[in-house]
Each structure stands twice: as C-alpha cells, then as structure tokens.
Amino acid sequence: MKGITFSPSNNYSCYSKIQTDQTPRPIKSLTQFQFPLFNNKNQNQSSKNQPLLSFSVNSIKNTQTPITQPPPLVVVGSANADIYVEIDRLPIEGETISAKNGQTLAGGKGANQATCGAKLSYPTYFVGQVGDDAHGKLITEALGNGGVHLEYLKSLGGGVPTGHAVVMLQSDGQNSIIIVGGANMSCWPDKLSDQDLDVVKKAGIVLLQREIPDSVNIQVAMAARSAGVTVIMDAGGMDAPMPQELLNFVDILSPNESELGRLTGSSTESFEQISQAAAKCHKMGVKQVLVKLGAMGSALFVEGEEPIRQPIIPAAKVLDTTGAGDTFTASFAVALVEGKSKEQCLRFAAAAASLCVQVKGAIPSMPDRKSVLKHLQSV
C-alpha cells in the first residue's frame, strides 16, 4: 500500500463539542479480566480438535458499561471518510481515466483500529476529531455501530472538514492513497484535557498512529508511560522523521517494511536487511518492533531476543488490502492486553488480517471475534 499525506492549513476558527449523546465519564473499575483466545491444555492434540477459547461472543455494542471490566484499549488517532475509486491501473502523468465504481466509506487508521478492537469484543475507546459535516456523521455512525465508545470523539465547528482520503483500488486488491488531514490535523489543543489523558492512563494498551500531529501523540505517550500503560505506535501516516521525543515513550513500534526503511534510512528488501533496520530502531530506544511484511507475513523483533516470524494465513480471495495493516495491529494489541504470548498474538493478528482482505472497505472489512477464532480452527 502506498500513502501520501497532505496536511491542511490550521487557520480555522474551531470549537469542540461531543458528537454523540455519550458524555465523558470516569472508568471506575479496571480490574483485569481475561477473554482467553487459546486453551493451553492438551497441547499435544491437533489444533483442529483443540478448543481455542472460552468466552462470550456477545458484542459490547448497546450494552451498559459493566461495573467491572478489563482495562480498555484506547485508540488516539485519525478518522477519515475514504472515497474509493475502483480502477484497472493507476493513471500516468497528465492522463485522465474512468473508474469502474466509486463509494464513500468510513476509515482512517485510528477509526479502523478502534473498530477492530471493538468488533473483537474488547472494550475500546476512541479519542479523535471529525468535522461537523456529512463525513463526520458517517464516521460517527460507523464507529458507534462497531461498538466503539465515543465519549471522547469531538466534532469541530468553524468549517473544519472531516479528514478524508482518496483510495485508488486496483483490480488485484492493491491500493494507493492520498490523505487530506482535515480535522485530524487541525485545532488540537496545545494541552490535552485531563479527561482525555485520564482515559489514556487507565487503559490496558494505547494505540497511536501518525495521521494526527506528533505533538498530540507525544502528550498521550508520555501520559501512558507515567501510568505504566503499554504504547503501540503504528508508523503509518505522516511521511516524515519520527521525533525522538515520541520514540522515547513507545513500547512497540509497528511499521510495514516500507515505513521501516524510511524511518531508519535502510533497505528492507530481504529479511536480513529488515532485521538490521529493526536493530536500528532498538538503538533509537524502542525495545520491540512489530513489522508487517505483506505477503511475507510479519515479524516481531524484541531487543536481545531472536525474531519471531509469523507467515501469512492465506485468504480465499483478496479484494482489498485497505485496512489490513490496521486490523493486524489492533488484533495484536487485543491479544496482548489479554495476556497472550507473543506467538499467539502474531497468529491471532494474522488470522484477522486474512479475513480483512476478503471484504472491500476498511471499517466494513474488520472481522468479529467469532469469525477470527473460526478461521484459526480451519487452518
């Protein structure tokens, strides 16, 4: 996947309001509660005969927040309206071509990851901004329907548009993307509110991406570190060097091979080169590097340990790779916050991503928990 980010002017007159009828409330009890993905008993049995889980598959959507719940997944990031155009090939310079089809769907790396977490039946909060426009309403509805807690989603006035992206989807499922930052890049306060930082400090894991300002990510990562909360930083989004001040507070950095190459100034064509680039990230202060490798699967590089490799779990068909990386990262985070081993986290994430690419659209393609576990049983 290729992505180009354009940051709009910040010269807007902004005000904030809560988009939904939900209002911020403290998370009173965050006692750890496990949703087992794997049954570790009877390991010698074949995987198909071995029960993979014991949990309720009921969605958290439209239910009251329980008195006791696990520490939530908190996603701070972007929300976009993805404008899809289906084409046979990319246009060359100066050329106009016709699209076979076009539609607008909710997306953005932050919104994608939040929806993925919620659809995997894990309590998930989204902290972000949309414009007071039709695209903002589209995204808010999609997040709410996915089961995401929206108390910290704000709508901006003053003519600030919702972030949007043009997704050029080719017939082989590959895509190229142009992003307009809109509300994602505009009118964030110089200092985040205590309410926003409170939900971060009470999280089980915080997920960040680079489609919002680095200054916001730094504040969030610092607050999470102060509370002992794991920070996963998806490197996708802004095509610019990542500030060392941000890297200092990141526990797990998750780039794809292209982003890893840009961040480290290294070639990433072979696994050996990818390993060397990951080692450079370790020297930057990030102890764990989770690399998404497309057709080669994924790999987790923990400083001082041997890499853990996870091959892809083949998909029956590949319709659209948009959102596959976000699905992988969020699924890994859910398994990790539930206390699974690194190997189990990688395998669960690979199964979720395999299902994602079989459906068009980012948020519409996010699989539910039952489907992922069924897919794991079948391979």
**Which parts are annotated binding residues for K(+)?**
320, 322, 356, 359, 361, 365
- HSE of 200, CA atoms in CB hemisphere, 13 A: 28
Q: Is-contact 355 377, C-beta < 8 A?
A: no
227-240: burial string, b at 16+ Cβ within 10 Å, e else: eebbbbbbbbbbee
Q: Find the angle CA(335)-CA(360)-CA(136) to the nearest 5 degrees.
A: 80
144-182: burial string, b at 16+ Cβ within 10 Å, e else: bebbbbbbbbbbbeeebbbbbbebbbeeebbbebebbbb
Q: Is the dihedral of CA 267, 262, 204, 331 positive or negative?
A: negative
Active site residue 326: yes
C-alpha distance across the termini of the chain, in Å? 26
The C-alpha atoms of residue 354 and residue 347 are separated, in whole angstroms, by 11
Q: Which of 133, 196, 326, 368 is catalytic?
A: 326
Per DSSP, the residues of 78-128 read --EEEEEEEESSPPPTT-----SEEEEEEE-HHHHHHHHHHHTT--EEEEE
Beta bridge partners of 121: none
Residue 153: phi and psi, rounded to 5, are -90, 125
Q: If we measure between CA atoms, which residue out of 59, 136, 149 comes closest to residue 367?
A: 59
List of residues 6+ apart from 50 with CB closer than 8 A: 39, 42, 43
Q: Which amino acid is at 356?
A: C
Residues at the annotated binding site for substrate? 80-82, 108-112, 211, 326
Q: Is-contact 73 42, C-beta < 8 A?
A: no
Residues at the annotated binding site? 80-82, 108-112, 211, 256, 292-297, 320, 322, 325-326, 356, 359, 361, 365
Active site residue ranges: 326
